[in-house]
Structure 1
């Protein structure tokens, strides 16, 4: 039985789903010509933080805040030139990652993508 209190994190499939999404996403980012220049060569720590952030963003445990404080996404990303083109490239990588993750709850996947679309557009600073 499903409860009304189910979070997006739960609907997606919890920790395993978030880990799959992040791995699929950064596999694409690491090869994308628009995104490679703004990410470090070693994405290990970036992947770990993204897992923490997405867990929290989707209503799971507040892993990111516990370790790093409030996400302050826009402020944390101001040092990086984020254009409309880069935001769209990021969303394209995420869209492909979500498809490749083969998660069962398509409605939850669509909701996550919609939330991330709003976030990506908010991050544009150039």
Structure 2
């Protein structure tokens, strides 16, 4: 029977250890950390000019940008720095102090759409990322309006 983990080496069949087999993550396939940092930086450029979203960030946008980048990097298969520094993401709980209504949702997605488009990802990757972002945005709504 054929074993896909076996390799022939000069007439000898040897097994490849599981640790040598790796599946490329979405994170790796789209360019790794630099891609997510570009995405988040472009997104926050839009937020900085947005009259509805900017007041949700009483601080300089830099710390929020860093947290969001680390979260997306971890979520998509990169280093687990976000959890190591901040614990479980608990996204809904972290957003409870902010009024997130349909208008905020739409503004968030508008800036994110611009950022995603500027990445010029392959169509399948873009669709996968966008599907997640639209789902995440909808799940943050906590106020009518």
- Answer yes or no: same fold by TM over 0.5: yes
Gapped runs of 5+ residues in structure 2? 1-20
Given the alignment of the two structures, is residue 34 of structure 1 paired with residue 31 of structure 2, yes or no? no
Given the alignment of the two structures, is residue 83 of structure 1 paired with residue 129 of structure 2, yes or no? no
Deviation digits for residues 42-67 of structure 1 (CA, Å, limit 9, x no counterpart): 11111111110010121211111010
Higher relative contact order by CA 8 Å / sep ≥ 6: 1 or 2? 1
Q: Which structure shows the higher helix fraction? A: 1
Q: Where do 4+ consecutive residues of structure 1 move more than 4 Å?
A: none
Q: Which structure shows the higher strand fraction? A: 2
RMSD over aligned Cα atoms = 1.6
Gapped runs of 5+ residues in structure 1? none
Which residue is equivalent to 2:27?
Answer: 9
Which residue is equivalent to 1:94?
Answer: 112
Separation in 1, partners of 2:117, 2:52: 21
**Taking structure 1 as the reference length, what is the TM-score of the superposition?**
0.90
Given the alignment of the two structures, is residue 118 of structure 1 paired with residue 118 of structure 2, yes or no? no
Given the alignment of the two structures, is residue 18 of structure 1 paired with residue 32 of structure 2, yes or no? no
* Higher alpha-carbon Rg: 2
Which residue is equivalent to 2:9?
Answer: none
